[in-house]
Amino acid sequence: MFPKPLEKSSRTWQISYQLLLPFALIVWLLPLLAVANFSIKPEADFVNGNYWGLPSSFEAFANYGKVFFESNMPKYLLNSLFITIPTVIGAVALSCMAGFALGIYKFKSNLPIFFIFIAGNFVPFQILMVPVRDMTISMNLYDTKTGLVLFHIAFQTGFCTLFMRNFIRALPFPLIEAARVEGIAEWRIFLYVVLPLMKPALAALAVLIFTFIWNDYFWAVVLTQGPGAQPVTAGITEFNSQFRAAYHLMSAGSIVAALPPVVMFFLMQKHFIAGLTLGAVK
């Protein structure tokens, strides 16, 4: 193990490490702690210039209540949900099948197709922006959740296919051969042999895509406008212009907007990290 395990170090270093750890964490998360602090302060604190000190009174209920009952925030949150969930399902479904095809079968264009999926994944969004926006408008899907969902599914399929294909590649191939010898149809092999083994990959991808899509801002701005379809990342800017310079409300709104992926991450931590660090270990 590197660095040297703590138990083998000097007593002084052991103690200082234990002290350093929480201190480092607080410094690292200082920006977040500050926002959390902002969000429970009364407005008066900001008027009096008490930005970073302790709140003079506890106003969390009032502030968060305003966010939920006197703004468009709940609408934006729902929009985000209705954009994110279908995208997750769509992208995972498409890439499961594509990953199966690319991971199991040998055919000439296998690698070229695989590399097109990977390459598309790295492309700058801007080169897609004008045509995708134009296409979305001509399909009458501009400023709708469906328009966003369709694009997200397509784009995320690149990364998801990379992920799924490599995962399926690592499964024991004799299993599939055995099934073939039994005369089982190929689609049944996918459904009953491969798919059950893919559960960890499905979970990992689902949380990852959930976070990516929830946090997407660029496409939300390009393909939607207004509270009818905009997700929360784009809505927060409108929210902020509604409560201009009302830091206690803006910070409460930000926390609410950021929360779902955070919850997702803590619930599915193992899968999330497994997905994110795919390929970091050979």
Site for another protein in 50-109 (CB under 8 A): 51-52, 94-95, 97-98, 100-102, 104-105, 107
Q: Where are the alpha helices (DSSP H) in 105-144?
A: 110-122, 126-138
Measured between alpha carbons, how far is 160 from 153 in angstroms, rounded to an integer? 10
Measured between alpha carbons, how far is 18 from 9 in angstroms, rounded to an integer? 13
User: For residues 186-225, which are near another protein according to CB under 8 A?
Assistant: 186-188, 190, 211, 214-215, 217-218, 221-222
Kindly state the tokens that stand for 137: 């408008």
CB of 73 or CB of 150, closer to another protein: 150
Q: Which of 41, 45, 63, 117 binds another protein (CB under 8 A)?
A: 117
Kindly state the tokens that stand for 65: 């209540």
- Give the per-residue contact string, 239-268, with another protein (x = CB under 8 A; - = no): -x------x--xx--xx-xx--xx-xxx--
CB of 54 or CB of 281, closer to another protein: 281
- Spatial contact of 140 and 74, defined as CB atoms under 8 Å apart: no
Q: Which of 15, 44, 78, 123 binds another protein (CB under 8 A)?
A: 123
CB of 59 or CB of 80, closer to another protein: 80
Query: Maximum CA pair distance of the chain?
Result: 78
User: For residues 134-193, which are near another protein according to CB under 8 A?
Assistant: 134-135, 150-151, 153-155, 157-158, 161, 180-183, 185-188, 190
Measured between alpha carbons, how far is 69 from 206 in angstroms, rounded to an integer? 31
Kindly state the tokens that stand for 196: 């059950």
CB of 206 or CB of 236, closer to another protein: 236
Q: Which of 126, 138, 172, 241 binds another protein (CB under 8 A)?
A: 126
39 contacts another protein (rule: CB under 8 A): no
Q: Is 134 exposed, middle or buried (0-12, 13-18, 19+ CB in 10 A)?
A: exposed
> Cα–chain-centroid distance for residue 125?
17
Minimum separation from the CB atom of position 272 to another protein (A): 8
Minimum separation from the CB atom of position 61 to another protein (A): 21
Measured between alpha carbons, how far is 269 from 256 in angstroms, rounded to an integer? 20
CB of 151 or CB of 167, closer to another protein: 151
CB of 61 or CB of 281, closer to another protein: 281
Measured between alpha carbons, how far is 143 from 190 in angstroms, rounded to an integer? 37
